[in-house]
Amino acid sequence: MPRVAAFTDTYLPTVNGVTYTVKTWRERWLARGGRMDIVFPKARGYSPDQGEHAVRSLPFPFYDGFYLGTPSVPSAVSDVDIVHAHTPFSLGLGGLRLSREVDAPFITSYHTPTSEYADYLAQREFLSNGLGRIAESYERWFFGHADTVLVPSEDTKRHLTDEVGIESRVEVVPNGVDIETFRPTDGAEFRHKHGIDPDQPLVGYTGRHGFEKSLTSILDAVAGLDVTVVFGGDGPARETLEARAEDMDMDIRFLGFLDREDLPSFYAALDVFAFPSPVETQGIVALEANAAGTPVVGVNAGALEDTVIDGVTGYHFEPGDIAGFSAGIEQALENNAELSENCVNRRDQISVEAAVDQLLDVYERELAQYS
């Protein structure tokens, strides 16, 4: 198998979708007998394992949990066949340099639009002028140097090719779900732990509580329904959500950050996973819910257009259509058994193993073109 050096600005101890994908892909790669070294910013609270190389870094002041690593190339990763950058920023530039030095294919993954980071910076008035345009220009420059850009969904591919104007090859390789961890299980213990009626329909969401994710529409959609609602996770929109929930005569719980080992039982305890966010590049939590046998009612926008298979693994509603969101939840509750069975039957298709199979195909194709 090809020897790979992966560069990422987001890794342990920070826990998010990018960290999860990089770590899980590496675990599967090593299990197949391959080598995949990781180069990442050094952060307190994590000691690198063999094959993990932490470089000097500084906390990024405007984005919590993000570190700026120096664009370093550790000498231990110089004998590789493939360079894979999971970031367009500083360490991604280190990966680009290494690929040129060793004449290896340069693969990049597009996990998060650069404009999302620009949006955070734009909240500071002194940084707001023209950041969106600068972000897209930088994306065109950086990803234009890639032999192949990997994206997790068709929607993200359309964004890069049609809106940003990337001319490199763009290929869909889903991040995949660890179906050994996320599987159908008994959610009764989770309900008992949180004092939730075992017979009460349960609608929930977990993930970052960001304003861009339109989470208040969940509260609007469940108003008048005989359900309990649970929110896992945290973020800047949580205070607004809690204030709105206090005005509703419903059982609505805010559980805060859930440990990853608690997530399978959380998903399994739900009857419906509600996902109104229009800004997802894949929406991994929706696939995790499906892997646990839980249908998803998601907005028909962004990556969720493809992630949710309407009438099979859940239902769509149009952006801004609260009545349609509510109807989708009711329909998912009514057809829960059938939808759950469909979700279980598709587990292999959304697995990490399937994703790594596709990743290997991309690597081998690029190596063949370099030989």
Mean pLDDT across 88-93 = 93
Query: Taking Cα atoms as reference points, which of 82, 106, 111, 119 lies closest to residue 21?
Result: 111
Q: Report the alpha-carbon distance of residue 103 to residue 184 in Å, rounded.
A: 45
How far are the Cα atoms of 2, 52, 195 from residue 33, in angstroms, in the given order?
10, 16, 45
Each residue of 163-192: pLDDT tens digit? Answer: 889 999 999 999 999 999 999 999 999 999
Range 361-369, long-range pairs (CB < 8 A, 24+ positions):
362/107, 362/148, 362/150, 362/171, 362/173, 363/2, 363/4, 363/81, 363/82, 363/105, 363/107, 364/2, 366/82, 366/105, 366/107, 366/147, 366/148, 367/2, 367/81, 367/82, 367/105, 369/105, 369/147
pLDDT score of 264 more than 60: yes
How many Cβ atoms sit within 10 Å of the Cβ of residue 300?
17
Return the sign of the alpha-carbon dihedral for residues 316, 321, 327, 329: positive
User: What pLDDT score does 2 carry?
Assistant: 96
Average predicted confidence (pLDDT) for the chain: 92
Q: How confident is the model at residue 219 (pLDDT cuts 50, 70, 90)?
A: very high
Give the DSSP per-residue string, 61-116.
Answer: TTSTT-EEE-----GGGSS-SEEEES-SSHHHHHHHHHHHHHT--EEEE--S-HHH
Global pTM value: 0.86
Model confidence at 234, in pLDDT bands (50, 70, 90)?
very high
β-pair partners for 148 = 107, 169
Q: Residue 263 CB: number of other CB atoms within 10 A?
A: 19
Comparison of pLDDT for 64 and 219, the residue scoring more: 219
pLDDT confidence of residue 282: 84
> pLDDT value at position 116?
52
CA distance 306 to 313: 11
CA 108 to the chain's CA centroid: 16
Burial class of residue 259, CB neighbours in 10 A (0-12, 13-18, 19+): exposed
Average pLDDT over residues 8-16: 87
pLDDT at 326: 98
One-letter identity of residue 98: L
Q: Mean pLDDT, to the nearest integer, of 15-28?
A: 91
Distance, in Å, from the CA atom of 327 to the CA atom of 340, rounded to the nearest integer, reads 18
Q: Per mean pLDDT, which range of 24-33, 127-136, 266-275, 302-311 is the poorest? A: 127-136
- pLDDT tens, 103-121? 999 999 998 765 554 444 4
- Give me the domains of the chain, ranges plus CATH numbers: 3-176+351-370 (3.40.50.2000), 188-350 (3.40.50.2000)
pLDDT at position 295, please? 98
Q: What is the pLDDT of residue 65?
A: 61
For position 127, what pLDDT does the model report? 45
Q: What's the CA gap between 158 and 179, in Å, rounded?
A: 28
- DSSP helix, strand, coil percent of the chain (3-state; round to 5): 45, 20, 40
The share of the chain scoring above pLDDT 90, in percent, equals 78
pLDDT at site 124 = 46
* pLDDT value at 126 more than 50: no
